[in-house]
Chain A
C-alpha cells in the first residue's frame, strides 16, 4: 500500500513538474521579486544593484502628477467604454439569438476584430483617423464637424475608446449569446400565456437571468480597460501624447521601467495597479454572492 502511494506521489509530481518549474520561475518568483523591487532603488546599467529606500516609491506615487493624469485617463476610459461595450454586446446578442438566417456569417463578420491583432487594428484605425481620412470624410459628408483625431488632446483618447468598443464588444456578445441559450424556453412560453409582450419578457425574464453574466462581463471589461497598453503605445509612438491625453497606467509603468530605467518605482506602480484591479475583482465577488442568495 505504501509503495503504491509513493508511486502515485512520484507520478503526481512528474506530471506537475513543468508547471511547478515554469510558474515558480516566471510567476511566483516575479511576484515576490516585484515586492522586493518596490522597496529598493534599482540600478540596472552595468552591474545590477539595489539600495533599500523603504516606502519612498509609494510616497512618490502620491506626488507624481503623471500618475494622476494616467489614472484620470484610465478612469474616464473605464467609465465610458465599459457601459457602452456591455450594452452593445447585449444588444448584438439579443439580435443574433433568434432564428436568424445566415447566423454563422454574421458571427464570423462580427468576430473579425476580436481575432485581429491589436497592432494591426491600431494601424488601420490610425489610417482611418488621419485628418484627410475616411472618418473625417464621412463626417463631412453628413455635414458633421471633423476632428484631428490623432493630434488633438481633446479627442485622442476618444479615438482609442471608439476603436476598443468596436473591437471588444463582439467578444462579450458571444458570452451573452451562450447565456441566452441557457434560459429555458418554457419561461417565455409561460409569460406569453400570461399576455406579456416582448418588452415585458425582456425586463422580467431575460434581463434578471442575465445579471450574473452581466457582472462577469462588466468586471472583465474593467480589468481589460485598466490594462490598456498596445493601442496607446502605438497611437502615440510610446509617448502617451498628445499632451499626455492617451497616457495609461501600464504605459506609464513601461516608460518608467524601460525608458527612465527606474525599475523600483515602476514595480511600485505595478503593485498599485494590481491592488486596484484585485479590489475590483473582490467587489465583483461579493456582488456575485449576493446574486446567488436572491
Chain B
C-alpha cells in the first residue's frame, strides 16, 4: 500500500511540475504587463510587480489608435469564416452522404485528393488571384477563400452517413423540401459535430498569421496577430507595452476556449485516427 502511495505522490508531482512549466510563461508575461519599464529592465525574477501599474494597458489603448480596429477585424473575420464554414461544409457533407446526384463520387474523391495538398502550394497563386479580383486588403479576401474546408466536409460526410434515414423520410412525407429538411431536421441534430468544428475553424481563423500577412498591407485592415507583430516593430524594446498588448490579444481566445472546452477535446478525438 505504501508503494502505491509513493506512486501517487510521484504522479501528482510530475503533473504539477508540468502544469508549472506550462503556466510560467503566461504568468511571467502577465506580470510584465503590470510592471513599469524600469522594473523590467533591471531584471530579477519577481512575479509580483514591486511597482504595480495599469499604465501599460492605458498607453496601448490611447497611443495605438488602431488597437480597437484590429480587435474588430479579427472578431468579424473569425465569426464570418466560422459561420460560412459551418453552413457550407455541412451542405457539402450532407449532399455527399445523402443525395444521389451525377458526379457525386467525382467530387468526393476530388475533396479527398485536395486534403493531401499542403497549403503552401496555393499561397502564391491565391495571392495573384486575390490581386486580380481586387480583393487585397479587403474583408472578402480574408473570408471567402477560407469559407470551406475539405477536412470538415469529409468529417460532416462521415457524420451524416451514420444518420438515421427514417427522420428524413418522415420529413419528406410531411412535404418538406430537401432544403427545409436539411435546415430544420438535419442541422439541429448535428450540433456536436458543429460545435467541434466551430472551435477548430474559429481558432484557425483567429490565429492565422501567414495569409493575412500576404494579403494585408493597410494597417487599418490588420487582424490581431499582424497588429501585434506591427506593434512589436514599433515598440521594439518596450516589453511592458508588448506584453500588455499580448495579454489583450490572448484573452478573447482563452474565453472562447474556456467556454467550449468540452467540445474541444471531443473535436480532437473526432479528427484523430479513428
Q: State yes or no: do A and B come from one complex.
A: yes
Main secondary structure of the interface of B (DSSP, over half): helix
Q: Does B52 contact A (CB under 8 A)?
A: no
User: A257's closest neighbor in chain B, by CB?
Assistant: B124
Instruction: Determine if B121 and A175 form an interchain contact, defined as CB atoms under 8 angstroms apart.
Output: no
Q: Check A258 for interface membership: any CB of B closer than 8 A.
A: yes
Nearest B-chain residue to A175, judged by Cβ: B272
Tell me if A287 is interfacial: C-beta within 8 Å of chain B: no
| Known contacts A15-B99, A124-B25, A263-B128; is-contact A98 B233 (Cβ 8 Å) | no
Main secondary structure of the interface of A (DSSP, over half): helix
Of A5, A92, A212, A277, the residue contacting B18 (CB under 8 A) is A92
Return the chain B residue nearest A216 by Cβ: B273
**Which of B94, B118, B129, B145 has most A Cβ within 10 Å?**
B118
- Tell me which residues across on chain B come within 8 A of A34, comparing CB atoms: 121-122, 124-125
Q: Say if the beta carbon of A100 comes within 8 Å of chain B.
A: yes
Instruction: Kindly supply a per-residue 1/0 record for chain B positions 1-26, scoring 1 wherever the CB is within 8 Å of any chain A CB and 0 otherwise.
Output: 00000000001101100110111111
Contact with A along B83-120 (1 / 0, CB 8 A): 01001110110111001111010010011001011111
With A28-B114, A120-B228 as contacts: A96 and B120 at CB distance below 8 Å: no
Quick check: is A159 within 8 A (CB to CB) of the other chain?
no
- Which of B61-69, B190-198, B246-254 is the contact stretch? B246-254
Instruction: Count residues on chain B whose CB falls below 8 Å from chain A CBs.
Output: 94
B167 CB-CB contact with A under 8 Å: no
Q: Is B29 interfacial (CB-CB < 8 Å)?
A: yes
Contact of B209 among A118, A130, A138 (CB under 8 A): A118
Query: Min CB distance, B156 to chain A, in Å?
Result: 11
User: Can you list, as one digit per residue, whether each of A217-234 has a CB less than 8 Å from chain B (1) or not (0)?
Assistant: 000000100110110011
| Docked CA distance A250–B120 (Å) | 7
Q: Give the segment of A70-78, A105-113, A183-191 that binds chain B.
A: A105-113
Cross-chain contact A237 with B102 (CB below 8 angstroms)? no
| Min C-beta distance of B168 to chain A, whole Å | 12
Instruction: Flag if A119 contacts B209 (CB, 8 Å).
Output: yes
Shortest CB-to-CB span from A193 to chain B, Å, is 19
Q: Which of A47-102 contact B (CB under 8 A)?
A: 48, 92, 95-96, 98, 100
Q: Which 8 A-B pairs have the closest CB atoms?
A: A12-B101, A30-B125, A15-B95, A119-B225, A33-B125, A30-B122, A117-B207, A26-B145
